[in-house]
A and B are shown apart, each in its own frame.
Chain A
């Protein structure tokens, strides 16, 4: 199925939960950031709808029996590597009385037993055994019509693309490569062109709605305004060669790249009187800004959200798959999965670890993002019908070689409305 993502079952007569005054995504009612009803609908239409949700990296669970607990939306799931080397994923809820089966974040197991009554399941989530199923002595067991095959854990479809693991609840989701799409695949291929090695996770929790983070990673306009570290050290300036490319079908995925050139654009900032740091400021140790060329062009920033719960990031030589998880309308968790390549030299590996200082919860050029999304959450809560104004470059919607644009955000909201039936 290659149809654009849309809500198939939205009843036409159904009253809409929220009103978007414009179809082009340039006005977004604040209700979408705090409404519990919208949040519930998102769980149904997005996370359990025809989307592929990022779970982790294959290299996190390389061995037979390895598993990892994570989420699709706010549904707890476990992804496992089965004994035949395949991937499986199941909802982490016992088919008996609903307890969480797997209580560990990570591990290795040939089977999984619920602690409550020790119902056990295989690595694919199929029911293996029920204690006292046939009773004992005069005590009867399960009824004769109890069929274990009907009581497996709820299983999701799992596929991987170049070592990135995705799962879907829906039979209507397209094949994963089609879901990723023609505009996004070459950029994923660029980063995942050779074997990678997992270097660890860091986790950040924000008191704001998950879509505010999605807006943030589709917003090249803020990058040189909010993140002064960027501007000051010539990592990201408006004068750099840029791309802002949406998925052509629905706009929910996108890619922003910024590529270094020699032209110094500091003057443009001075002329406009934009807040930036003193020119005299220099790092005593600028190795954190080193950049070893690894790809065909010297791209300093590659920020690629794959809807709904992945952002692929390359900033200089730091490589991260960020998993974005909603935690109710007012909170999200961001899990940075750092990786390198298996053939990294020791020097390149050290550079990657040093550049982990740039991103993550304490990142020189990322710590402000959650600060900004929390400011929006606080600012918008009281007035659900009032709207964001998203106008930058609206007269030039096809332009892609720019960072002074909000076109990716508008495309995102237009795609969101369609998928949600709003």
Chain B
């Protein structure tokens, strides 16, 4: 892969990440599952467990249907205070595995604003992703959200 191809690939994957962040930050949760493959794996796990090789996290889905279920439950069943997220990402690092598969890593910070108008750093962490090229474009086959901020303030409703 030459430099231009690599830059183009980085740009495409950065755009995927921007789209991912945009659906979460702008209350378009129904579009979130479609950014994953049908057989995807999505998990949010505290860094302390990841570092010790322990499996438990706060959310774990091993197919796209579970992602849609999470959205439907958030919209219809779960009760939580209205809030918004703003994701800041940095350090996107890509490692092509083959022509249609790339592993990527990035850092994120989520600033949460709750109903009283206060904004605070809700979570800092990193993404460890595996993306694949599909007919619809690049999609997440695996997304592992590893958070440093080990105490979750109040609750976590909206995915990160």
Contact = CB atoms under 8 A, between A and B. Distances in A.
Contacts, number: 113
A288 interface: yes
Nearest to B116: A378
B69 interface: yes
Given A202-B152, A226-B79, A357-B60, 16 more contacts: A200-B45, A200-B55, A200-B56, A202-B58, A207-B153, A207-B154, A228-B79, A281-B77, A288-B66, A288-B69, A354-B60, A357-B59, A361-B58, A362-B59, A368-B80, A371-B155
10 contacts: A200-B46, A201-B46, A201-B56, A202-B58, A204-B151, A361-B152, A362-B155, A362-B157, A368-B80, A368-B155
A296 interface: no
A203 B45 CA distance: 11
A267 to B, nearest CB: 20
A206 B80 contact: no
Given A202-B46, A284-B65, A364-B73, A356 B80 contact: no
A201 B79 contact: no
A338 interface: yes
Interface in A48-96: none
B56 A368 contact: no
Nearest to A203: B151
B13 to A, nearest CB: 27
A219 to B, nearest CB: 16
A207 B81 CA distance: 13
Interface residues of A, number: 39
A370 B46 contact: no
A360 interface: yes
Given A201-B48, A361-B155, A356 B76 contact: no
Contacts of B151: 203-205, 333
A371 B81 CA distance: 7
B49 interface: yes
A282 to B, nearest CB: 9
A154 to B, nearest CB: 27
Contact of A203 (B66, B79, B152): B152
Interface of B: 44-46, 48-49, 52, 54-63, 65-66, 68-69, 72-73, 76-81, 150-157
A363 B154 CA distance: 12
Contacts of B76: 228, 277-278, 281
The main secondary structure of chain A at its interface with chain B is: mixed
Interface in A181-240: 198-207, 226, 228-229, 232
A204 B48 contact: no
Contacts of B46: 200-203
B157 A204 contact: no
A199 B155 contact: no
A229 B70 CA distance: 11
A205 B77 contact: no
A181 B148 CA distance: 39
Given A228-B77, A353-B60, A199 B152 contact: no
Contacts of A361: 58, 152, 155-156
Nearest to A361: B152
B149 to A, nearest CB: 10
The 6 closest A-B pairs by CB, nearest first: A200-B56, A200-B54, A361-B152, A284-B65, A200-B49, A362-B156
B80 to A, nearest CB: 6
A374 B155 CA distance: 11
Contacts of B58: 202, 356, 360-363
Contact of B73 (A205, A207, A229): A229
B154 A205 contact: yes
B72 A367 contact: no
A362 B154 contact: no
A357 B59 CA distance: 5
A180 B127 CA distance: 43
A199 B78 CA distance: 26
A150 interface: no
